[in-house]
Amino acid sequence: MSLKKDPNLPGFAGDSALGYGQPGNFIKTLRRFRQALPEQERCELCSVALTSEHRHLLEISKNRIVCTCDPCALRFLDVVDGRFKLIPRDVWYLPEFSLSDSEWESLALPIGLAFFFYSAAEQ
């Protein structure tokens, strides 16, 4: 089977992909299908692009999770009373801990993952 270039078909001879005979509209039509590239997540300390397996810090004063690259995160590895605390990558199973589906949904977590920590200020 051989393909023939038919100048009467849309996309040839400068016609639009819709076949309306409007020169130059072929590229405009293709641009409609172009997808925006997802925005690259960046380190919140140095702005370098992050991998999917990046580290996290807890900003203690604001109880806020900060996404960081490995070099920035490791600067806080042994810091005791600093602004940030490195969140370990450990995963602990808590057999006595239980949340119903409605309680879990009420947390409104966008990724289905939560960090729990003890606040020294609250204890």
The structural domains of the chain, with segments of one domain joined by +, span: 7-34, 55-106
Question: pLDDT by residue (tens digit) across 38-71?
Answer: 788 999 999 999 998 899 999 988 888 899 999 9
Backbone angles phi, psi at 65, to 5 degrees: -85, 135
pLDDT tens digits for the chain (123 residues)? Answer: 455 555 555 554 444 444 455 556 777 777 777 777 678 899 999 999 999 889 999 998 888 889 999 999 999 988 888 899 998 888 788 889 888 989 888 888 777 666 677 776 554
With tokens 């997808």, the residue in question is 35
Residue 122: both structure tokens together: 């609250």
Strand-pairing partners, residue 64, are 59
Q: Taking Cα atoms as reference points, which of 41, 53, 38, 117 lies closest to residue 89?
A: 53
pTM of structure: 0.55
Q: What is the mean pLDDT of the chain?
A: 77
